[in-house]
Amino acid sequence: MSTPYAKLPAWADYGLIPLLNLAVAFVVAGLVVLLVGENPFRAAVILVEGAFGRGQGIAYTLFYATTFIFSGLSVAVAIHCGLFNIGGEGQGYIAGLGIAIVCLAFDHVLPWYLLFPIAIVAAALFGALWALIPAWLQARRGSHIVITTIMFNFIAASLMVYMLVDVIKPVGAMAPQTRNFAAGGQLPKLNWLIELFGFSHIRSAPFNVSFLLALVMAWLVWLLIWRTRLGYEIRTYGFSPKAARYAGISETRIIVVTMMISGALAGMMALNPTMGDQHNVALDFVSGAGFVGIAVALMGRSHPVGIVLAAILFGLLYQGGAELSFEMPNISRDMIVIIQGLVILFAGALEHMFRPSIQTLFASINPKSVGMAEAGKEA
């Protein structure tokens, strides 16, 4: 065996193996449910029904998915460049500061359709700037981006606590958050979109226009990565930094630009929970969504289509998980954190676990399909 990972047909590579990895992750999650003393199959049914059974559930599922699309895209862009941006959480958190500044300044003056673009720019800018220092340090000083972005998550958390508690919080208020945004800082809901499909009236779900922005961004990321010169350079660098250097691609430029794009996408994820849902910027409003992006990107194999699908799956888990905790008091939202971890483990770290056996399987059925025929001839 000269090549450990011989080529598989595309459908096996992009369909079978990810699904198999996902299935194993869910089987292990099912075992945890069993350990807690509940029936995993009933849990799965409640989960799916909670997420897709009613219009309300769908709206919530898509609301959560919106945030995860942004954070997934953020991680994916960096992965294409061979970088692991674990700092989406902090970049999104800091972006909340940008949103807060813009909204607090203009929410009484501008209507939402004028304020939203400004807020997008502000969120993207703050997120990108928070990624800039780790990127520059990686490019010029060789500090490991994973460590620096983790450190920046913590620095962001401290900074935001300070800003929200000591600076932005309205005088006399107790909760560490901004005042509520006026009409200009509130994004219109998209619930009517789901009602169009014949679902009953949705009373209160925060599904809003930032979902459309997420889809546009997914398309733009596809365009960037596979249809532009910059995207080609990003992929080249990710595939082989040596080759990129040889081709005259500036290492510093590519790392800094990619990380800033990644940070900007992570920053945009802050729009959904703040302007779309709570209408303020509160302590810990990101609540782990940046980390979910890692699972989403790995599951979606860093392709925007895969990411949107994976984000919806995680949206389903979040919404269904909330329903599940009513039905099964032993299972709380934290179950999703386990599933998230298992998905990262099996779809990310152990992604090659089944590859050898599947290759053997394919080879035994049809040697040509895995390119073994030529190898056989040589021997």
Partner 1 sequence: MDLFNVVIQTLDSTIRLSVPLLLACLAGLYSERSGIFDIGLEGKMLAGAFASAAAASVLNSAWLGLSVGILVSVALALVHGFASITHRGNQIVSGVAINFVAAGSTVILGQAWFQQGGRTPALTPPERFDAITFPGADAVAGVPVVGPIYAQLISGHSLLVYVAFLAVPFTWWVLFRTRFGLRLRAVGENPAAVDTAGISVAWLRYRAVICTGILTGIAGAYLAMVQNAGFVKDMTAGKGYIALAALIFAKWKPVNAMFACLLFGFLDALSIRLQGTPLPIIGRVPAQFMQALPYVLTVILLAGFIGKAIPPKAGGVPYVKER
Give me the residues that bind partner 1 (CB under 8 A), please: 1-2, 4, 32, 35-37, 84, 86, 133, 137, 141-144, 146-148, 150-152, 154-155, 158-159, 161-162, 166, 291, 294-295, 298, 330-332, 334-342, 344-345, 348-353
Residue 130 near residue 196, CB atoms below 8 Å: no
- Cβ 271 vs Cβ 123: under 8 Å: yes
CB of 88 to partner 1, least distance (A): 12
Q: How far is the CB of 292 from partner 1 (least distance, A)?
A: 9
Minimum CB separation of residue 152 from partner 1 in Å reads 7
What is d(CA 257, CA 128) in angstroms, rounded to the nearest whole number?
A: 9
Q: How far is the CB of 187 from partner 1 (least distance, A)?
A: 30
The residues that bridge with 208 in the sheet, in sequence order, are 189
Q: What spatial distance separates the first Cα and last Cα of the chain, rounded to whole Å? A: 11
189 by DSSP, 3-state: which?
A: strand
- DSSP secondary structure code for residue 370 in this structure: G
Closest approach, Cβ 373 to partner 1, in A, equals 20
In the block, residue with structure tokens 């919106």: 66
Contact indicator for 96, 286 with CB cutoff of 8 Å? yes
Residue (165 or 365) nearer to partner 1, CB: 165
Q: Count the helices and strands in the chain (H runs, E runs).
A: 18, 0
Is residue 250 helix, strand or coil?
coil
DSSP letters for 114-142: HHHHHHHHHHHHHHHHHHHHHHHIIIII-
- Select 276 or 300, whichever has its Cβ closest to partner 1: 300
State the nearest-atom distance from the C-beta of 244 to partner 1, in Å: 19
Q: Which lies closer to partner 1 via its Cβ, residue 268 or residue 342? A: 342
* Closer residue to partner 1 (CB): 2 or 204: 2
CB-based contacts of 113, cutoff 8 Å, min separation 6: none
